[in-house]
Structure 1
């Protein structure tokens, strides 16, 4: 019986502590606040590939300066199917994948007003990004991400690339890829085709 009382007291104390950390009024326990606190904490944890966003989430907004000097915000693209490709010149897998993105996605859909593709180059200067695009033969828009601040909205700052994030017309994430896998890439291409027909 003594153990039952001790366990009940411990659970009550734990609930009060969690409630206080979640912003609940001192001395009260609100189960909804405790649940929200726990789910908020879990939502900021990375998955096994380093993503901190999930399929179904509204894609975090950002502004990016493109290599032509134009500034684009993700929110300004709402109503379009958007693909973000996180990349960098030092990434060998990116160099392998980018010509496929150019050929199988960009060349097919670049004239579709309902589609946008932005390569977001991680933490490199303009000259390097321009040389990188030329070397890989890509013509899709490339943006600069100093300090990887845009990248850090989607994945742990120190996690790797290449990554693709596909966003629907409502601004929700519908697919995320990591590295280059032919089968996964074919699935990405298929999903983009379906979303645009």
Structure 2
């Protein structure tokens, strides 16, 4: 009897998980977070104390990157993101947003890198409202947004330096 109950319970859990997995794409479609759609506007507080509106970045492509200090793939990828931000600032705007972390946590992390991120500024989505708006279900998560605000590409998971460079090159070419 106990074995039958557990089998039924596991079937229930599997069904519930499948239902949840199927619900996320529907949610993403309702909010338009996909290639070819306008990127939803938002305001984010930055680690340097400023506040930034996504729409204020129109005019050149944007690399919108969600990350967190506790995420190993994010931490491995962040130097590539910071390097692109510094080297290609005339061609593309990099907007990194720490998902669900306080400004203090992010500033402490950036400062602990002995100047490696001296010019790197991140947004802090402390209440995860931006992450929710963009249906961020895992990090790192990167979107490319054209100069006129259209989502041109998305990537769930970390980039290698080569793939990131290629994606940035494509985003810049597409916006010309």
| TM-score in same-fold range (> 0.5) | yes
Structure 2, unmatched stretches of 5+, are: 1-22
Query: In the alignment, which residue of structure 2 is the partner of 1:36?
Result: none
Q: Which runs of 5+ in 1 are unaligned?
A: 1-40
Structure 1 segment 18-167 matched on structure 2, within 5 A: 44-46=26-28, 53-103=33-83, 105-110=84-89, 112=90, 115-135=92-112, 137-138=116-117, 139-156=119-136, 159-167=137-145
Give the 3 Å change call, closer, same or farther, for CA 42–143 of structure 1 in structure 2: closer
Equivalent residues of 1:83, 1:118 under 8 A apart: yes
When the two chains are superposed, the root-mean-square deviation of aligned CA atoms in Å is 2.6
> For residues 189 and 92 of structure 1, do their structure 2 counterparts lie closer, same or farther at Cα, with a shift above 3 Å needed?
same
TM-score normalised by structure 1 residue count: 0.66
> What secondary structure, in the 3-state scheme, does the structure 1 residue paired with 2:36 have?
coil
Which of the pair has more CA radius of gyration? Answer: 1
Q: 1:90 to 1:52 in 2, by over 3 A?
A: farther
Mapped partners of 2:102, 2:27: distance in 1: 30
Distance in 2 between residues matched to 1:171 and 1:193, nearest whole Å: 13
Higher relative contact order (CA 8 A, sep 6+): 2
In the alignment, the residues of structure 1 paired with residue 67 and residue 59 of structure 2 have an alpha-carbon distance, to the nearest angstrom, of: 25
Q: What TM-score results when the alignment is normalised by the length of structure 2?
A: 0.73
